[in-house]
A and B are shown apart, each in its own frame.
Chain A
Amino acid sequence: MDLLIDSFISAFFLIFSFDAEMIFIVGVSLKVSIASTLIAGIVGVPAGFMIAFESFPGKRIVITVLNTLLALPTVVIGLFVYTFISRRGIFGPFDLLYTQKAIIIGQVILIIPVVTVFTITAINRIDERYRKTAMTLGANRIQTAWVIFREARFGIIAAIIASFGRVISEVGISMMLGGNIKGFTRTMTTAMALEYDKGAFILSIALGIVLLGISFGMNMLFHFFQGRSRA
Chain B
Amino acid sequence: MTVYELHQLTKIYDERTVLDIPDLKIKENRIYSLLGPNGTGKTTLLNILGFLEPPSGGKITYRSKPVRFVESELQALRRDVILVDQFPILFTATVWKNLEFGLKVRKISKGKRTRMIQEALDLVGMRDFALAQAHKLSGGETQRVALARALALSPRVFLCDEPTSSVDVENQAIILNILKRINQTKRMTIVFTTHDRTQARTISDQTLVLDRGRLLEAGYDNIFSAVPDLNSLGETKCVIHPNISLLMDSHKIKPAKDRFRILIDPKQIHPLRKAGKEFPVNVLQGIVRQVVDENSKIRVVVDSGVRLILLMTEKTYRHSQIFVGDSITYYIPPQAIQAID
Contacts and interface: CB of A to CB of B under 8 A. Distances in A.
Say whether A associates with B: yes
A138 B135 contact: no
A129 B89 contact: yes
A132 B105 contact: no
B98 to A, nearest CB: 9
A138 B106 contact: yes
A138 B91 contact: no
Interface residues of A, number: 18
A135 interface: yes
Nearest to B104: A143
A135 B87 contact: no
Interface string A202-231: 000000000000000000000000000001
Given A136-B50, A137-B101, A231-B135, A130 B91 contact: yes
A137 B75 contact: no
A138 B78 CA distance: 6
Interface string B70-101: 01000100110111010111011000000001
B102 interface: yes
Interface string B269-289: 000000000000000000000
B299 interface: no
A contacts with B: majority SS: helix
Contacts of A132: 52, 83, 85
Given A143-B105, A151-B91, A137 B82 contact: yes
Contacts of B89: 127, 129-130, 133
Contacts of A129: 85, 87-89
B153 interface: yes
A222 to B, nearest CB: 19
B102 A137 contact: yes
B149 interface: yes
Interface string B54-80: 000000000000000001000100110
Contacts of A231: 135
B85 A135 contact: no
A64 interface: no
A138 B101 CA distance: 9
B159 to A, nearest CB: 8
A136 B161 CA distance: 13
A137 B52 contact: no
Contacts of B102: 137-139
A59 interface: no
Given A141-B71, A143-B105, A135 B78 contact: yes
Nearest to B136: A231
Contacts of A143: 105
Interface string A73-105: 000000000000000000000000000000000
A147 interface: yes
A150 B88 contact: no
Nearest to B92: A151
Contacts of B106: 138
8 contacts: A127-B89, A129-B89, A136-B82, A136-B150, A137-B149, A138-B102, A138-B106, A150-B92
Given A127-B89, A139-B101, A147-B101, 6 more contacts: A130-B91, A132-B52, A132-B85, A138-B78, A138-B79, A139-B102
Query: Would you list the 6 A-B pairs with minimal beta carbon distance, nearest first?
Result: A137-B102, A129-B89, A138-B79, A136-B83, A138-B105, A139-B105
